[in-house]
Amino acid sequence: MSISKNSQRPFTVIVEGNIGSGKTTFLQHFNKFDDICVLAEPIELWRNCNGHNLLGLLYEDRKKWSFTFQSYVQLTMLEQHTKLTDRPIKLMERSIYSARYCFVEKMKQDGLLSHASAAVLDKHFEWVKEYANVGVDLIVYLRTSPHVVYERMMLRNRAEEKSVSLEYLQALHQIHEDWLYHKTIFSVAAPVLVLNANLDKSVIHEEYMKCEPQILNRTLTVHT
């Protein structure tokens, strides 16, 4: 890991989207390319922090565990951003940006964080942005309907997600929309490529192929 902002980093792409938007499938599509270092969301770390399932605890009691969970998310996402690779391209599932702009923001809206806890998370996030090597070159937004991702979530039946409601997904969708599509809240760290991620798995790879020139050629200009 190289946290210094001055250290060299690969062309970095982050894939963002709601729960169930197909981020894992997107990563699998690009995992076949030798030039790309693919980093999945570190869910297993969240399920086992020295024996504690922080993700499970969060879904059991959001009020009690939101600050603890999100503090660990920020740490693990920082590790993802700064993880060394000899490959020229790094493709990450989510980022320290969506951790703050989407999930911490939703916790704030829901009153799950005290003002002091929110201030600590914000101070840490601002420090990371200022001093750590977390730059991004391209954002891929897997745009979905909340109803579609709710159905997908029910089908995959992850234990920690049983308490996630359609209303929660709708609110999270709106935050993603305002951040990456309308660009009316928060800063956007890189050009955004928007994909229709409502498509079925049988045809979604055609949509993913639209990203290949920008990612493989490390192209910064995006036409949406």
Q: What is the pLDDT of residues 4-32, one digit of tens each?
A: 565 688 999 999 999 999 999 999 999 99
What residues are annotated to the active site?
93
Pick the more confident residue, 64 or 224: 64
18 belongs to an annotated ligand binding site = yes
CB 137 within 8 A of CB 12: yes
pLDDT given at position 224: 45
pLDDT given at position 7: 65
pLDDT given at position 8: 82
Give this prediction's pTM.
0.93
Mean pLDDT of 24-46: 97
pLDDT given at position 220: 65
82 belongs to an annotated ligand binding site = no
22 belongs to an annotated ligand binding site = yes
pLDDT given at position 3: 60
The tens digit of pLDDT for each residue in 153-188 reads 999 888 878 889 999 999 999 999 999 999 999 999
Please choose, from the candidates 158, 153, 146, the residue with its C-alpha nearest in 3D space to the C-alpha of residue 198: 146
Mean pLDDT of 77-90: 97
Joined together, the tokens standing for residue 138 give 């391209």
Q: Is 17 helix (H, G, I), strand (E, B) or coil?
A: strand
Residue 223 has pLDDT above 50, yes or no: no
Return the exposure string of 149-175: e unless at least 16 CB atoms fall within 10 Å of the residue's CB, then b.
bbebbeeeeeebeeebeeebbeebbeb
23 belongs to an annotated ligand binding site = yes
Q: How far apart are CA 28 and CA 17, in angstroms?
A: 16
192 pLDDT band (50/70/90 cuts)?
A: very high
17 belongs to an annotated ligand binding site = yes
For all residues of the chain together, what is the average pLDDT? 93
pLDDT given at position 219: 74
* Domains of the chain as residue ranges with CATH: 11-217 (3.40.50.300)
Residue 128 has pLDDT above 60, yes or no: yes
CB 182 within 8 A of CB 6: no
Please choose, from the candidates 35, 16, 11, the residue with its C-alpha nearest in 3D space to the C-alpha of residue 140: 16
Residue 143 has pLDDT above 60, yes or no: yes
Mean pLDDT of 111-122: 97
222 pLDDT band (50/70/90 cuts)?
A: low
Pick the more confident residue, 211 or 37: 37
Cα dihedral angle (195, 15, 130, 137), rounded to 10 degrees?
Answer: -60
In the chain, what percentage of residues exceed pLDDT 90?
85
